[in-house]
Chain A
Amino acid sequence: MSITENEARKVAHLARIAVEDEALPALARELSGILQFMEQLNEVDVEGVEPMTGVTPMRLKRHEDVVTTGGMPEQILSNAPDAREGFFAVPKVVE
């Protein structure tokens, strides 16, 4: 399986990483190389094998559906690149 420049552009966009057009051929080559390495997995007979979801056989813990913490907007916002009036600020989303 090899990745075309167009597919590389699509993956970069899905991952929300800006990639210049000039960088696409190299990116496509690198990703293809890695995918080729993964092709080895096709040699394995996985008929009837369940995909693993977790390494320990335990059931995920449950807890009461109640609020246990909160009320700390200043701390939540303290690391934001742009926070105003108790909110995270971003460029205009809706025209």
Chain B
Amino acid sequence: MSDLNRLTIAEAGAALRKGEVTSLELTDACLAAIEGAGALNAVVHGTPDKAREMARAADTRIKSGDATPMTGIPIGIKDVFCVKGVPSQAASRILEGFRPEYESTVTQNLWDAGAVMLGKLNMDEFAMGSANENSCYGRAVNPWKAADGRELTPGGSSGGSAAAVAADLCIAATGTDTGGSIRQPAAFTGTVGLRPTYGRVSRWGVIAYASSLDQAGPMTKTVRDAAIMLGVMASVDDKDSTSADIPVPDFEAALTGDIRGKKIGIPREYRVDGMPAEIDLLWQKGADMLRDAGAEIVDISLPHTKYALPAYYVIAPAEASSNLARYDGVRYGRRAKLGQGDGITEMYEKTRAEGFGPEVQRRIMIGTYVLSAGFYDAYYNRARKVRALIKRDFDEAYAQGIDSILAPATPSAAFPLGAMDQADPVQMYLNDVFTVTLNLAGLPGISVPVGLDKQGLPLGLQLIGRAFEEGELLNQALVLERAAGFVAKPERWW
């Protein structure tokens, strides 16, 4: 078999179990692909020795007949997950040198299932960003290039994960999604990204950004792979007090391809000003595909959609300012060099000034401001009330019998690296306009590649599901994937 790194989880798993290929061969193919893809800057801490060791163990396990669907599958891990003994720094200088003494629940679940770790993947620092340009490792690059040859962003914050999957450096990758950080990069790279329901996947050992919004999920080449991988990542976990006590179903079994009679909502408020005609057309095409498969398309209203972004950019920084208070140069990571007579306050202030990048500093300060005396009610509490109204919008839509909601994933295709360098921070935030709403409501969402724009760049659509109904959501995504027949791959230049 050639190009083993191009396989999906389902294909590779079948070949492994039939004995047509070994995990070591599969792993070596991925390691070779990573070796040749330095220009993408997707893999930031390779773990080739660990990968081969895990692959050998997986091969032994497969021979003994004890294989799971993920056994022997080489994957990449976003740098935000703590992996014991492996650098885990959420792309921040402040965690330089940090090697966790413990394992995140998600990665532990993956290793228990026999998955193989290839390395840590690039991201925006502390998952704050939409272009993977806020990283202590430097920018990750999209394997897709603009028609004029300019390098593009793979999106963010899980930009390294998306680039690695799209360029076949790994079979699949983990991501996290606080405001769209799985779905937007997936849409920018022609891959599939699933953000599960809040509470479905344990947050234990995932370096926190905004705890009421963070959720880890799979980034894969196909919808089926997302179903397989979510089944392994998800668990009920005593170590995370917000982990939901709901059994993890067989998501792959839900992929029947039958969506007849399902009601799919089209929210009119998502038709934002200045939305490119191509995105609108894609959205209509997507609705037609679902209708052709027997679903009923219904217009719905989510009246508070417009306020999701400002509410998010109050709540997420507020939680971040509190979560990131732990980086003080005392317990882990970096400590600034101190001058003569510097006390503990100078140590904190210098350490945090040189350890955090500009966007992280900005969000910490905004968060500090909206939580400070005198502004708490005006900003933070008001945002939490608006959040309640946003969730109510969804509750009401679902109460009317809607099964899921179809919307664009992003307001554009991938944009050139550096395009936002001179923009003010708010312009970058607008990228999240279609994705943040469901994070505020705790709902699952999936981005599926559906077409190419006139430049030949991938565009994605997003399906938003009911809480804890990822199986049904994945099934609808499968229908969209099949109808779209998206098979385009980036031309190799790296």
Determine the chain B residues whose CB is within 8 A of the CB of A67 once the complex forms. none
Number of A-B pairs whose CB atoms are under 8 Å? Answer: 167
Min CB–CB distance B243 → chain A (angstroms): 8
Q: Shortest distance in angstroms between A87's beta carbon and chain B's nearest beta carbon?
A: 11
Q: Contact check, B307 vs A41: say whether CB atoms are below 8 A apart.
A: yes
B385 touches A56 (CB 8 A): no
Total chain A interface residues with beta-carbon distance under 8 A: 51
> How far is it, in angstroms, between the C-alpha of A90 and the C-alpha of B181 when the chains are bound?
36
The docked-state distance in angstroms from the alpha carbon of A79 to that of B343 is: 21
Partner of A34, one of B100, B307, B321, B362: B362
- Taking a contact as CB atoms under 8 Å apart, the answer to whether A35 and B335 are in contact is no
* Interface majority SS (helix, strand, loop, mixed), chain A: loop
Q: Which of B198, B306, B329, B346 contacts A56 (CB 8 A)?
A: B198
Contact A90–B425 (Cβ < 8 Å) = no
Say yes or no: B429 contacts A41, CB within 8 Å.
Answer: no
Give bound CA distance, A81 to B354, whole Å. 15
Return chain A residues, CB-CB under 8 Å to B461.
none
User: B362, A49: Cβ atoms under 8 Å?
Assistant: no
Contacts of B307 in A (CB 8 A): 40-41, 43-44
Query: Does B384 touch A at the CB level, under 8 Å?
Result: yes
Q: Please count how many residues in chain B sit with their CB below 8 Å of the partner chain's CB atoms.
A: 72
The complex places the Cα of A90 from the Cα of B329 at a distance, in Å, of: 9
Contacts A15-B365, A30-B424, A37-B429 given; does A79 touch B352 at CB 8 Å: no
- Per-residue CB contact flags for chain B residues 58-101 toward chain A (1 = under 8 Å, else 0) read 00000000000000000000000000000000000000011111
- 1/0 per residue A16-35: CB within 8 Å of B? 11110000000100110111
Contact A41 B386 (CB under 8 A): yes
Do A44 and B304 touch (CB < 8 A)?
A: yes
The CA-CA distance from A33 to B304 in the complex, in Å, is: 22
Q: Is the CB of A60 within 8 A of B241?
A: yes
Given A41-B383, A91-B344, A93-B343, 19 more pairs with CB closer than 8 A: A16-B328, A16-B349, A19-B353, A30-B362, A34-B366, A37-B426, A38-B314, A40-B306, A41-B386, A43-B307, A46-B386, A54-B212, A55-B391, A55-B440, A79-B97, A81-B330, A88-B331, A91-B343, A92-B344
The 7 closest A-B pairs by CB, nearest first: A55-B442, A51-B384, A79-B332, A81-B335, A18-B349, A46-B385, A18-B353
A residues apposed to B, CB below 8 Å: 3, 8, 11-19, 27, 30-31, 33-35, 37-44, 46, 49-56, 58, 60-61, 63, 72, 75-76, 78-82, 88, 90-93
